[in-house]
Structure 1
Amino acid sequence: MDLTKKYLNLLAKEYPTIGDTTTEIINLEAIMNLPKGTEHFVSDVHGEYEAFQHVLRNGSGNIKEKIKEIFHNRLSQKEMNSLATLIYYPENKIRLVCSEFEDQEEVDEWYRLTLSRLIELCVFVASKYTRSKVRKALPNEFAYIIEELLSKDGNGYTNKEDYYSEIIGSIILLDRGSEFITAISYLIQRLVVDQLHVVGDIYDRGPYPDKIIDTLIEHHSVDVQWGNHDILWMGAASGSAVCIANVLRISARYDNLEIIEDAYGISLRQLLTFAEMTYPEDLNSCFYPKIDPNKEDYFEDEIRQITKMHQAISVIQFKLEGEIIKRHSEFQLDHRLLLSDIDYEKGTITIKGTEYPLLNTNFPTIDPADPYTLTAEEELVVEKLVTAFKNCERLQKHIAYLYSKGSMYLTYNDNLLFHGCMPLTEDGEFMGMEIQGEQYAGRKLLDKFEEVLRKGYLNKDHKDNEKYLDYVWYLWTGPVSSLFGKDQMTTFERYYVADKATHEEKKNAYYKMRNDEKTCEKILNEFGLEPLKGHIINGHTPVKEKRGEDPIKANGRIIVIDGGFSKAYQGTTGLAGYTLLYNSYGMVLVSHQPFTSVSEAIENEIDIMSTRRVIDRELDRKKVRETDVGKELTKQVSDLNALLAAYRNGDIIEKTRQNHTVLK
């Protein structure tokens, strides 16, 4: 039996009759003529959970746009704002609204009016999906009731007016109005976005990356393109000591050790004890953490401890990095072996032939003759931390999720998504590097990076795992890393040398050449996409809008959506992030002003102020048939037509319902 016949026989088990086969063909053909679902792109959320949640809940303004489409002639702006806020935060808004009424009759009337509006809106946002898809999205408790209410149309409502009114009346009478409004609000949130793309950097800077991942785990359809800060945590969870040191250093630098201790329950006691015993107190130290000026609940003793821990883990990091550089000559990072360039007696360092004084000369754990070897105490600290990171159940759950939903890049509906850059030489060729004895460049380089990342995690309990984990660190800091995109990371100089000329990190040629259409077309070609249809979508580098930088480059071929979700970047960018929407009508870039707070959003109905900018507008409304999902459905239809032909010419025997039985 050839493979085609074998495959068709397997397919026949699912579609045993001509009737089953033709029904599924009709179903799939109909689905392909529905409008394309809405894709929502976000990037560089950096632990800013509340702002991320709000953008997710309002669909980057998509919900408010839907409300305007339906109610613009019937509701005031204040009423539309109130309805939008209710959909974003139903539980909180219901409590607030109901507390303002004087009696139950007013509450019931508000329920009746609000339910009517929500149902009308839900019918509208559900209209682009099949009933089957909507049914799968319904909350279990109210599935039957919502499905009935969503089925009403102009003629049906006339014939069933009393029927629908009685359903709403019964919901209110049985004191389920609050729960029903909450359920249908979350259903609307779910239906306005079909696919969420997170283009990297969930971790670091902000305080709650763990909550963001918990939210993503509950999301109905999401993919992640790993960012440089994400892979640092991925390496840490895989047992990379140098990635753990970097994670802790960054958390200490931004006064964010709560993510380690509180969110993930990883004890830093060993590190704290070592730091207290080893490093002198110096509140003017270059390791003094960056304190949020709005933070009130901190103590000077706590800052003193963080400063010491910050210095201790930084020195450990520099030592561990030196050992990796010495193991891998192919990394071409010997110039970063800076501990060897320090004159420990004079307190100076020589960089590129110039001698500079050090801002801090406390190196109690460094042997000038052997500067990269950890002391016994440092080794113990590292060993304890590696064990804690590898055995942290919540962290491992989150990192396993990133591996299951993530990738170095994604091609989806003619677009190429990756976090940082496509490493290029100065003459526009793809940069190459040697990995495990072979040379890689372009798409193959990113594929190889992903392979070693995954092997590093899968082999985290193997003794020889460093052969993979060293490359995870390289992705964080290496010049040919698509996630880093600079010639070097001058962390040491930024701490120890005042002269800012030593802090320079030269960006990869990609960042200059991405303004050129031909370069973008070359990259899209490399990933098998049509250059004149596709877009490159990046994050990683904050767009400095207030300085006139445009996130849309190369005549629309590339879109950069890192506009500063992280509060640390907002002073530079002048806004609080870009997001992107891609629906059946085209592509819209949305820029956001800073998010204040959830309480402000609920009590004062203050939404994030957003500006929408059309990038591409479809001449004809795009259908599912023209998407990647449509391509898969087309293949399925082709297979089903082959099965249908096999039934009709007798190559495969149709199983009638009488003999298609299941043995019990």
Structure 2
Amino acid sequence: MRALERAELQEKFPTKEALTTEIINLEAILNLPKSTEAFMSDIHGEFDAFDHILRNASGNIVIKIQDLFSGQMTPQRQKVFAFLIYYPADRIKIVQQHLTDPDDLRQWYLDTFRHLLEMLRYCATKYTRSKVRKALDPKFVYITEELLYGDFSTEDKKKYYAQITDDLIALHTADDFIIALCHTIQRLVVDHLHVVGDIYDRGPAPDKIMDRLMRHHSVDLQWGNHDILWLGAAAGSQLCIANLLRICARYNNLAIVEDAYGINLRHLSLLAEKYYQDNPGFAPKIIRADRQPNPAELSQLTKIHQAIAIIQFKLEGQAIDRRPEFKMQARKLLDKISPDRQTITLGGHTYPLIHGCFQTVDAKDPYALLPEEQDVIDQLTRAFVNSEKLHRHMDFFMAHGSMYLAYNGNLLIHGCVPVTPAGEMEGLALDGHLYKGKVLFDMLEENLRESYATPSQGDDLSTDLLWYLWTGPESPLFGKRAMTTFERYFIADQATHEEVPNSYYTLRHQPEFIEHILTEFGLNPTNGRVINGHTPVKKGQSPILADGKMLIIDGGFARAYQPTTGIGGYTLLYNSYGLQLVTLQPFTTRAQAIADLTDIVTTKRIVEQARARQTVAETDVGRRLRDEVQTLLSLLQEKSGGSEPSA
């Protein structure tokens, strides 16, 4: 919420009485407890796990049920009640199947109304009545408020409330009322959601995640390196499109492109069929047993994978030549291949090539696209730029997203801040100007927004910078010196596969370095924190670094990373009592979770506990509200003839 300008306030509150009422309202809000923020990162298309975490509020709903109903409900009943709140429609069907006696079912409805209203009342205590009203289902605002704030102490009122609940059951609206209450509880338990990058790639349903986020009541997004590919594709970057399609082919996820976003891959498939054969080095990674392609599909995927990879390498060579300022000449590798296509010479060493598929590469002009390849990538670019659903999702990404975010003392960055081994800011030089630190982030965001606003198939700098964000040596979203995609496909020697990370990843263990980063971005180095995603926390490593000033919340949402992390991800909760890191188990399926009451929160670890419960006044919103109060007091003084009001 932004602070309203003086003229707006003057128009909105034209009388002394209106000004006085609003001052009292805002001063009261400033004394409410700070609401709960939740942080997630690196969701990578895993919609079911993501959706479950939103529904269970990172385990917060279970905690509130325990606080409220211990001694009234057994642990098993608490679990059943929690899953009713998570998945109300599904759990109601299960109850109706088991409770065949009408009296038993009616009693269940009455008990459930009472428990849900108690839960809602408990969750609403840190909010104004106005904010709770906005969270209620419009169809049930009147009924909910009557039952939520009612006085049950008199006999007349008891009969009044009993009639309301009886009518809900008799008029067959009890199910809808329960579902509405559950959704309101979910909404109030976590007030604001931060997604610290990488919604896209790896998993099968990033489009569903975007649809869910677009319905969410309060969210911000930081762009991750994988997200940039999709933003870039919508902006017309052929380099981003090629990388995006290669990754989708690699992880058997081309259905996202075709079915979710309506982009026809027929021309690419025909090209692949014409020039490429089966090649084990390009067989897709099968992460899910339920998504095993049949032999014909496997062959097609393998050929498409090769075709788009070669197009990518050619386009990258062209970009490197036209952008010498990117300093990526060492990543031009097609011209290093021997004439017989059997070896490649890199850094004075000659390596045998494996899984070669260079039949469309002209040794005399290795980075030139065949006319057919050019036609395919041009057709794909038009399809991406004109995909209505993709642009709907990317418009939301642009409206709610950023390269970084400073919020309530925390700095949210997906990847890193590029630095030298000594910890000094390093960056990218363009047109004689060196961009580093916060200025680098701002420049890259400005160019991203410019490129997205004017989609182009050309080779303008803003569009090329989108690809640089994906793979450039000074990209804050990539964070490594080079992306060794080519070597991983074609060279067996794993020493060539190494991707050297920026010194940031070593230095971020040191509190002094994190304080340096916080100062660069204008945050308080004493009590601020940096929150990162991007690098999965491996088994045995800690996500809490630099004496709690650095938190890494990529714990393995993506199934591809879970063998490395050993868990199903992390989320972070920041409420009036402090900061908690939540460890998650790998999610199975939605159906199994509902049937077996299988939750995925395993442990909560307190990162920082507030000495005194934090209030709204101590948040960014509180600071804006205090400014607004001062403006209102000034307006009130003018209307009072110059006498000095106080608040």
TM range (shorter): over 0.9
- State whether structure 2 residue 210 is matched by structure 1 residue 210: no
Q: Secondary structure at the match of 2:594?
A: helix
CA distance in 1, matches of 2:391, 2:288: 33
Query: For residue 579 of structure 1, what is the aligned residue in structure 2?
Result: 571
Distance, in Å, in 1 between the alignment partners of 2:568 and 2:274 is 42
- Residue 245 of structure 2 is matched in structure 1 by 248
2:455 is equivalent to residue 457 of structure 1: no
Query: Judging changes above 3 Å, is the alpha-carbon distance between structure 1 residues 647 and 334 closer, same or farther for their aligned structure 2 residues?
Result: same
Tell me how far apart the structure 1 counterparts of residues 528 and 89 of structure 2 sit (CA, whole Å).
Answer: 41
1:507 matched residue in structure 2: 501
Query: 4+ residue stretches of structure 1 with deviation over 6 A?
Result: none
Aligned counterpart, 2:473: 479
What's the Cα RMSD here? 1.4
Provide TM-score, normalisation by structure 1: 0.94
Q: 2:545 aligns with which of 549, 553, 562?
A: 553
- CA-to-aligned-CA distance 1:227-260 (integer Å, 9 cap, x gap): 0000111001111001000000000001111111
**What aligned pairs does 1:130-529 form with structure 2 within 5 A after superposition?**
130-152=128-150, 160-279=157-276, 281-284=277-280, 286-292=281-287, 294-295=289-290, 298-345=293-340, 347-461=342-456, 466-529=460-523
> What is the CA-CA distance between 1:11 and the residue it aligns to?
3.3
C-alpha distance in structure 2 between counterparts of 1:466 and 1:53, whole Å: 38
User: Do the aligned partners of 1:255 and 1:289 also contact (CA within 8 Å) in 2?
Assistant: yes
Cα separation, partners in 2 of 1:346 and 1:468, compared to 1, 3 Å = closer
Q: 1:540 maps to which residue?
A: 534
In structure 2, C-alpha distance between the alignment counterparts of 1:288 and 1:259, rounded to whole Å:
18
Q: Which runs of structure 2 are paired with 1:119-138 in the superposition (5 Å)?
A: 119-138=117-136
- Distance in 2 between the 1:473 and 1:490 partners? 15
Residues 57 and 346 from structure 1, CA distance in 2 versus in 1: closer, same or farther, beyond 3 angstroms? closer
What amino acid is the match of 1:197? Answer: H
Q: Which 5+ residue runs of structure 1 have no aligned equivalent?
A: 1-6, 652-664
Determine if contact 2:34/2:615 at 8 Å carries over to the other structure.
yes
Map Cα deviations across residues 553-579 of structure 1 (whole Å, 9 max, x no partner). 000001000000000000000001000
Mapped to 2, the partners of 1:644 and 1:192 lie a distance apart of: 36
| Contact 2:261-2:390 within 8 A present in 1 as well | yes
SS of 1:85 mapped into structure 2:
helix
| 3-state secondary structure, aligned to 1:410 | strand
Distance, in Å, in 2 between the alignment partners of 1:495 and 1:52 is 31
> Aligned partners of 1:191 and 1:217: how far apart in 2?
17
* Residue 596 of structure 2 is aligned to residue 604 of structure 1: yes
Residue 633 in structure 1 maps to residue 625 in structure 2: yes
Q: 1: distance between equivalents of 2:479 and 2:338?
A: 31
Asked whether the 8 Å contact 1:240–1:466 carries over to 2, the reply is no
How far off is 1:157 after superposition? 7.1
Give me the TM-score of the superposition, normalised by structure 2: 0.97
SS at match of 1:518: helix
Separation in structure 2 between the aligned mates of residue 494 and residue 348 of structure 1, nearest angstrom: 14
1:59 match: secondary structure:
helix
| Preserved CA contact (<8 Å) 1:419 1:483 | yes
From 636, 640, 643, the equivalent of 2:635 is 643
Secondary structure of 1:127 counterpart: helix
Q: How far has the Cα of 1:293 moved from its partner?
A: 5.5
Partners of 1:643 and 1:435 in 2: CA distance: 48
Residues 375-428 of structure 1 show CA distances to partners (whole Å, capped at 9, x for unaligned) of 100000011000000011000100111000000000000000010111110111
Structure 1 CA distance for aligned equivalents of residues 292 and 342 of structure 2: 37
Question: How far apart, in 1, do the equivalents of 2:432 and 2:225 lie?
Answer: 24
The yes-or-no answer on 1:592 pairing with 2:587 is no
Q: State percent identity of aligned pairs.
A: 52
CA contact (8 A) 2:469 2:476 kept: yes
- For the Cα contact (< 8 Å) 1:344–1:361, is it kept in 2? no
* 2:306/2:357 contact within 8 Å kept: no
Structure 2: distance between partners of 1:649 and 1:575: 65
SS of alignment partner, residue 66 of structure 2: helix
CA contact (8 A) 2:252 2:284 kept: yes
Aligned residues: 639
- Counterpart-to-counterpart distance in 2, 1:585 and 1:346: 63
Q: Return closer, same or farther for 1:110/1:469 CA change in 2, 3 Å cut-off.
A: same
2:554 alignment partner, SS class: coil
Q: Note the alpha carbon deviations across 1:454-495, whole angstroms, 9 max, x for none.
A: 00101114x656321100100100111110000000000000
